[in-house]
């Protein structure tokens, strides 16, 4: 390694093998209860929970530590209504023509359509933007790197943090999403990557049986 400023590596807990196995199992048991939710309750959630989850997401590994993300948190009903109207307009085009027959066929077991009432029912919509330019310090306009990868990892951590706080989420990706820049008042060099719908599930929320099938380990991993 070349000379650079350093501090000692963060102390990690000293688990023995049995503890490590138990903890990895417990984490898997907890995270496997995560489900994308399409029926939300309007029950309020403290803003601090969202702030902490975003802080957690902001610790994600990313390109050159430029942290190329912005999380626009929509709480206002007016904004939610505008977002819903614009998203449903895109979705109508998708379901009524733009989507291939193969794509629509793949969505069949999920039962989705262009109606997205949850976009104005859920207490929070977090619009996640990737910053093509930025750098680490406020006001910088440096090139950012691996923006898609960084956003993907941060979004996964955000979803995991919210799940750990007992909240349901839905990754929603109307296509195209450029309308989100205007609604969220974000500059055009930022790319909207997804809307994360956050809240409690409605009392009568359901999930598609299709979503409960997860590939077994020997299908998703190999050992070399």
CB-side neighbour CA atoms (13 Å) of 60: 26
- The C-alpha atoms of residue 198 and residue 57 are separated, in whole angstroms, by 14
Q: Quick one: 130 or 174, whose CB is closer to ligand IYR?
A: 174
**Contact with ligand IYR (CB under 6 A) among 173, 187, 210, 211:** 173
Exactly one of 172, 196, 198, 201 binds ligand IYR (CB under 6 A); which one? 172
Q: How many CA atoms lie within 13 A of 154 on its CB side?
A: 30
Measured between alpha carbons, how far is 83 from 72 in angstroms, rounded to an integer? 12
| CB 117 to ligand IYR: min, Å | 12
Find how far residue 186's CA is from the centre of its chain.
Answer: 18
From the CB of 45, what's the least distance to ligand IYR, in Å? Answer: 22
Least distance to ligand IYR, CB of residue 99, Å: 7
Under the binding rule (CB under 6 A), the answer on residue 190 touching ligand IYR is no
Check binding of 107 to ligand IYR (CB under 6 A): yes
Query: Shortest Cβ distance from residue 163 to ligand IYR (Å)?
Result: 18
Closer residue to ligand IYR in complex, CB, 58/208: 208
Does residue 96 contact residue 115 with C-beta atoms inside 8 Å?
no
Helix (H) or strand (E) holding 197: strand 190-199
For position 84 contacting ligand IYR by CB under 6 A, the verdict is: no
Nearest to 45 by CA among 186, 188, 197: 197
Give the Cβ contact number of residue 198 at 10 Å: 25
DSSP secondary-structure letter at 94?
I
- The residues, ordered by sequence, that sit 6+ positions from 88 with a Cβ below 8 Å of its Cβ are 114, 115, 116, 119
Out of 91, 123, 131, 193, the residue judged to bind ligand IYR by CB under 6 A: 91
Sole window of 26-34, 42-50, 170-178, 207-215 interacting with ligand IYR (rule: CB under 6 A): 170-178
112 near ligand IYR (CB under 6 A)? yes
22 versus 110: smaller Cβ distance to ligand IYR: 110
Q: Is 80 in the site for ligand IYR (CB under 6 A)?
A: no
- Report which residue's Cβ sits closest to ligand IYR: 112
Whether residue 63 contacts residue 145, with contact meaning beta carbons closer than 8 Å, is answered with yes
By CB under 6 A, the count of residues binding ligand IYR is 8
Residue of 5, 49, 19, 14 lying closest to 168 (CA atoms): 49
- Which chain residues interact with ligand IYR by CB under 6 A? 91, 94, 107, 110, 112, 172-174
């Amino acid at each position: 390694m070349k000379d650079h400023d350093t501090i000692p590596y963060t102390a990690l807990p000293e688990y023995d093998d049995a503890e490590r196995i138990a903890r990895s199992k417990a984490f898997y048991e907890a995270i496997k209860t995560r489900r994308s939710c399409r029926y939300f309750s309007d029950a309020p959630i403290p803003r601090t929970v969202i702030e902490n989850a975003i802080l957690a997401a902001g610790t994600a590994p990313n390109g050159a530590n430029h942290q190329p993300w912005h999380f626009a948190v929509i709480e206002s009903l007016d904004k939610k209504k505008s977002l819903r109207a614009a998203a449903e307009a895109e979705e109508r085009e998708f379901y009524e023509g733009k989507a291939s027959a193969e794509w629509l066929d793949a969505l069949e077991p999920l039962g989705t359509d262009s109606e997205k009432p949850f976009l104005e029912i859920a207490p929070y919509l977090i619009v996640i933007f990737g910053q093509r330019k930025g750098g680490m310090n406020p006001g910088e306009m440096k090139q950012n790197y691996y923006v898609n990868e960084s956003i993907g990892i941060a979004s996964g951590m955000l979803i995991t943090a919210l799940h750990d706080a007992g909240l349901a989420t839905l990754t929603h990706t109307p296509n195209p999403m450029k309308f989100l820049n205007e609604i969220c008042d974000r500059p055009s060099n930022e790319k909207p990557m997804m809307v994360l719908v956050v809240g409690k599930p409605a009392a009568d929320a359901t999930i598609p049986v299709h979503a409960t099938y997860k590939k077994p380990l020997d299908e998703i991993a190999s050992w070399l």
